[in-house]
């Protein structure tokens, strides 16, 4: 019975891509892709909740239209500019969640461990 139904792309000629990025990645990549997306989402929200602030909330507010757009219209794989923009915003949110003194201490510890910086 399923063989008698033509593919959706033949019945709807304008349908050339899925309109939901999450479902597309799940169908194409299976449980591994879904788990990867879940890890990315949880780690992104963990960055936000670890040290919430006005700037992190503003960056999340900037991300929401793009993420909503990927669920309703064009997927991210068709727009590299949106991918780049999402990565930049997530990077900014992550860098804002670490204090400068913490980052400086981490750099110094790494340099001490590598033996390039003397005490």
Measured CA to CA, the distance from residue 75 to residue 52 in angstroms comes to 29
The pair of structure tokens assigned to 67 is 């993420």
Which of 1-5, 20-24, 36-40 is the least confident region? 1-5
Per residue in 44-74, pLDDT (tens digit) is 777 767 766 777 778 778 888 888 887 787 7
pLDDT above 60: residue 1: no
Tell me: the pLDDT tens digits for 65-118?
888 887 787 777 777 887 788 888 877 776 765 555 566 667 667 766 666 655
Q: Which residues contact 20 (CB under 8 A, 6 or more apart)?
A: 70, 71, 72, 75
Structure tokens at 48: 């936000």
| pLDDT tens-place string over residues 35-44 | 998 898 888 7
Interior angle at CA 62, CA 23 and CA 53, nearest 5: 115
CB atoms within 10 A of CB 19: 13
Report if pTM > 0.75.
no
């Amino acid at each position: 019975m399923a063989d008698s139904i033509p593919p959706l792309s033949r019945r709807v000629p304008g349908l050339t891509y899925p309109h939901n990025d999450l479902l597309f990645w799940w169908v194409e990549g299976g449980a591994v892709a879904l788990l990867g997306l879940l890890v990315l989402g949880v780690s992104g929200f963990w960055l936000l909740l670890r040290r919430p602030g006005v700037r992190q909330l503003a960056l999340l507010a900037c991300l929401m239209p793009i993420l909503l757009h990927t669920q309703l219209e064009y997927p991210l794989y068709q727009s590299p500019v949106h991918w780049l923009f999402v990565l930049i915003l997530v990077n900014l949110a992550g860098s804002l969640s670490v204090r400068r003194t913490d980052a400086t201490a981490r750099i110094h510890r790494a340099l001490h461990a590598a033996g390039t910086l003397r005490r």
